Amino acid sequence: MEVVLAIAIGILTGSGVWLLLRPRTFQLVVGLSLLSYAVNLFIFSIGGLAIDKEPILADGVPPDLAHYTDPVPQALVLTAIVISFAMTALLLVITLASRGMTGTDHVDGTEA
């Protein structure tokens, strides 16, 4: 499971960085989104991967760490998802404004 997740994060990061270095604003937006997915998965995995364990205290489960998964990364990832979602929306607005004002979708606003 760890290997699969690690490869997934690696592929997402690699694609994200590659797209980030491309000259078009759409590629920039998608690249940053992929990067934020990779980061979210990374945060999620930092508490250790576990199957079928709850992050929140449940009835009938002994209250010790062996029976629960770390809830902190889940809380962090929730915050990070919300923030990156909002920031992507903001970036889209700015890139649209840039497209409208400069007449090109190049990140520098000129084709040269």
User: Does 57 contact other proteins by CB under 8 A?
Assistant: no
Which of 11, 58, 61, 86 is the binder for other proteins (CB under 8 A)? 86
Helix and strand element counts for the chain (H, E): 3, 0
Residue in 79, 76, 92 with CA at minimum distance from that of residue 33:
92
In this structure, the number of other CB atoms found within 10 A of the CB of residue 20 comes to: 16
User: Does 79 contact other proteins by CB under 8 A?
Assistant: yes
- Decide if 105 contacts 99 (C-beta within 8 A): yes
User: Does 12 contact other proteins by CB under 8 A?
Assistant: no
Which of 46, 49, 58, 61 is the binder for other proteins (CB under 8 A)? 46
User: Does 19 contact other proteins by CB under 8 A?
Assistant: no
Nearer to other proteins among residue 53 and residue 95 (C-beta) = 95
